[in-house]
Amino acid sequence: MKSLPRDLLERELIASLEDGWKLDVAQARYAPVGFGSYHWDVTDAAGGRYFVTVDDLDAKAWLGDDRDSAFDGLRAAFDTALALRRDAGLAFVVAPIATPGGESVRRAGRRHSVALFPFVEASGRSGMEHTAAVRADLVRVLADLHGATGAAGACARRRHLELPNRARLEAALGDQDETWTGGPFSGPVRDLLAVHAAQLHERLGAFDRLAREVAAADGDFVITHGEPHAGNVLLGAGQVFLVDWDTVGMAPPERDLWLVGGGAGELALYTEITGRPVDPSAIELYRQRWALDDIAAFTTVLRSHHVHTADTEKAWNGLCLYVLGGMTPVRSQST
């Protein structure tokens, strides 16, 4: 995220790190990267370097309906990452560092959570496609991950095929008679959805048909990362690393595979390694789900109370690109 989190002061974050992880913080620098979580680059008095992630529990609908259940879901996800790194020995899993008491994540006030990660000296390619060699390496990493299901099954949660924010999206599509006053983007979002409501309902219907088809196939669920896109893949010292494990869970393997990119060659490599055929319907299901998830999430953010920031403008532009299919979006109302 480009902007700092609301309702959390940096001194509160540092106090949480000192209390939970007994970290003697010497410096904490905000890192405006990613979208959905907040990050700091932290150095302790001994010269150790760490990566800190703060999550807004109000923005984790796929983990729970309220702050407490979202925190429980986040803890289960990070516990799963710890198990994959510790018990399955998967070196590519950048798992959180547990507190002395064994916690993978802690609350920071009522609204936020905080987790501590090792700092990885590697580079990412956010917004870019991987080379063919990296895609092949990523397929091998995902095959190893999916093969480690037994090590993480005890704490991993099942990721169902349904859209977690669907009710909010459908409520927005059905609420066109009221003026939306959440912030500068609310009116333009309302107008955009009003024009394209029929198209979005059609997309939801197509998704439902695919979900029924995939469910009827009754394929195996494996442990999946959920978002192994270029922004969550780090490359360093000849090693592929996967970061951002809040989306980890049990699901069809295609939940990960559709994001590898490339084409039939990468999917054939996965089948060659695992012996598991890839379901084209499941690939398409998760491709459509990704777009609908983002449409629902961006709509929820911009319909709620907000101000004009780099993050809300990014959400607005993303929503326009999904709905308009790449057409140039209009700007928000001025603040």
Q: What is the pLDDT of residues 129-139, one digit of tens each?
A: 678 888 999 99
What is the pLDDT at residue 9? 85
pLDDT tops 60 at residue 56:
yes
Give the model's pLDDT for residue 205.
96
- Residue 57 DSSP code: G
Res 326 pLDDT > 50: no
* pLDDT exceeds 70 at position 288: yes
Name the pLDDT band for 333 (thresholds 50, 70, 90): very low
Q: What percent of the chain has pLDDT over 90?
A: 73
**Is the pLDDT confidence value at 154 over 80?**
no
Cβ burial of 252 (10 Å; 0-12, 13-18, 19+) is: buried
Residue in this structure with the two tokens 């084209």, named with its chain if needed:
280
pLDDT band at 335 (very low <50, low <70, confident <90, very high): very low
pLDDT of residue 203: 95
Compute the C-alpha angle 169/309/203, nearest 5°: 20
The domain limits of the chain are 1-119, 166-218+284-324
The more confidently predicted of residues 233 and 329 is: 233
Q: Please say if the pLDDT value at position 120 is more than 60.
A: yes
Q: Minimum mean pLDDT among 122-131, 237-246, 276-285, 311-320: which range?
A: 122-131
Token look-up 């907000």 returns 306
At residue 221, does pLDDT exceed 80?
Answer: yes
Share of the chain above pLDDT 70, in %: 95
According to CATH, the superfamily of the domain at 1-119 is: Phosphorylase Kinase; domain 1 (3.30.200.20)
State yes or no: pLDDT of 332 exceeds 70.
Answer: no
| 266 φ/ψ sector (left φ>0, alpha ψ -120 to 50, else beta) | alpha
| pLDDT for 128 | 55
Q: What's the mean pLDDT in 46-52?
A: 95
**Confidence at residue 298, expressed as pLDDT on a 0 to 100 scale:** 94
Strand order in the sheet with 112-118: 25-31, 38-44, 49-56, 112-118, 106-108
What is the per-residue pLDDT across 168-182, written as a single tens digit (0 to 9) for each?
899 999 998 889 999
Higher pLDDT, 210 or 61: 210
Note whether 235 and 134 are within 8 A (CB): yes
Tokens describing residue 100: 């002395």
- Residue 24 phi, psi dihedral angles, 5° rounding: -90, 90
Beta strands of the chain (E only): which ranges?
25-31, 38-44, 49-56, 106-108, 112-118, 123-124, 222-224, 233-236, 239-242, 249-251
Mean of pLDDT values over 198-202: 95
Quote the DSSP letter at residue 158: B
Name the band, by pLDDT with cuts 50, 70 and 90, for residue 164: confident
Residue type, 69: S
211 or 237: which leads in pLDDT: 211
